[in-house]
Structure 1
Amino acid sequence: MRISYISACAAASTALFDLVLAIPTAKDSTAKRGIMIKRAARNDLTTNFIPVFKDLTTAVPVDTGLISSDTHDTYDPVACATVCLGLVDPECVFFNIFVLATPESDPASVNTCQYYSQVFGIADATVADDGTPEHTISQSSGYRKIPDSTEFTEESFNDASIAAPASDNDPYMGCTKSTGTTEITKDDCIAKCVAKTQDNSKNHVSADNTYRPCNFVNVYQNLLDGEPDGWSCCYYTQSYGVEYATNKESWDTSDPKRHKTKANSYGYSLEPQLGADGVVTLTN
């Protein structure tokens, strides 16, 4: 199967189809291409990917991170997701699907998917055409593979938790708490953080086509009069550094008053962050 995609150095006079490659099949030499593909079952898109933009008239450039590209008979993000999951060396973590108008050809438009080894956001979708006005892009949508714990960077806050500053976009997304000596691990926290993003991107997109992603978690141990009193994991739409770790101690209202402190506090930030300022904007 022959596939076409935008030249990495597209000048105004460069044809859109200058760069032509083939996705390897079982009969191809994957070593020759430096691309490894494994079989991937057709999947539920929302199980494996998060939308980062939708229905734009611009696409992501191909000069960084492009693995491969292909075309499909229909506009089918699930089919593109299945191909992306099958690209493992290098790993596909993002794909951009769009309709490319080709009025001089038959058919007059092509459903194109581009697969990348790095993630992008709406601000990165800057390619409108290749300098040929007829070669326009529409229905451009980008999907990021669900992140795992390796994509969250760690920072120690020692005996303090995050006090997020006031913001027009409320960054706080709630906390999960345990009791006694039951620990909430960083993997537990990150998994719940990712699940919040999945749920919001699927079920809680606002009327202005935005949703709240979980980009940061703060996990810490609670102490009551110096004794273990469970763990907390708090979720935020954006990351905060050690300068915001100012919550250290408090006293409850019991009689006698009991001293509440924290220990083993860590922050985990998704890199790169989803959206900007704690909001994912799907359309311009």
Structure 2
Amino acid sequence: MRKALIAAALLHGLARAAPHPQDIDFDAVDSAPSATVTGPPITAVEQPVTYNPTTASQSAAAAVTASPLAKRWEFGLFERDGVNDDCAPQPDGYGPKPTSDTTDAFITNTVFALAAVNAPTPNGYNNVFSNLQGSVSLPSYLGLYTLQSYDPLQCQQLCDAADSCYGFNIYFERDPSVNPADACPNPPSFTNIKCTLWGSHVTAQSASNMGGYRDQFQVVIAGSNGYNKKKAPPPYSGYDGPTELGGAIAAPLYTDPTTGAQVDTYIGVKFFRGAFNAGQCAAACDATEDYDRTHATGGSYKPCNFFNAYVLSKNGKALGTYCSLYTQPWDKSYSTNVGQYSGSDYYSVSQSYSYTRSVQDPGVVD
């Protein structure tokens, strides 16, 4: 009974088949709840990864009428007691400090620039931007760690330890040596080396966080590098895959070999903001099929035998997981939709994969 109610909730939240071809459903994207976390707060020095992709997948159907984010983080410093007191010493910064304690000197510091441009690219990753003056801000934020050296290999190890991590950002940040307050509004600075983990690929466009103010103290960023993991999503029980695609599936009408009728195999779409998690698409496919089977008419129903999971980005910044559901499989040659415009905004497709139900459901009630 509970499974049927969850499936009903999913069906309510699922955007059903749109006219051929399967353009990006902007209404489904816009109606998804906004992400409350797009990066670490300006005061944070550590936020370990808490996102659980399995839990998110299991709750995907029920979350349709509430929120697609299975976990919300609570902000705050993760360090020792008293760190938020007025003028309290802040956790030590290990990075080099410019001779002149100004924001301009920090941003233009050649030590930071050389560290960034000469940094090694870890095996299994691509370096997608280097030596920028902004850190990544995306709905797919997973966690933050402060390092003792500017070492992409250490940041890579942290990313590899998190199942849902597909990219990381390492950078120098100008931080206050004490917590700014009325008695110390603009204290001397020190340099933190920060590593943030992301549940999607990062881009130069996503490195849009330029810092901010803590009282009169200005936080700025330098030497920001971004790396993306060459990694496919995991397999899921009951499905064959993943199969890497060139873009999103744009399936034509299918000619039924028995009746000769033109059939639209596209069932609909579900969009989840946050980390890329193809398991949410598998949950949506299963729940939709269960609902359709339970509510079959004339002894037949639309089975969900295939889905396409990908990251949808707006103007180069990843938004979340886009799930397109189908009654039958389509091969890579139909993955032709790499993106499209909505007004002046460009929505692009990346990390696109397909999954095919291992035992195809004929859509007939026994």
TM range (shorter): 0.3 to 0.5
Query: Normalising by the residue count of structure 2, what TM-score does the alignment of the two structures yield?
Result: 0.33
Query: Normalising by the residue count of structure 1, what TM-score does the alignment of the two structures yield?
Result: 0.42
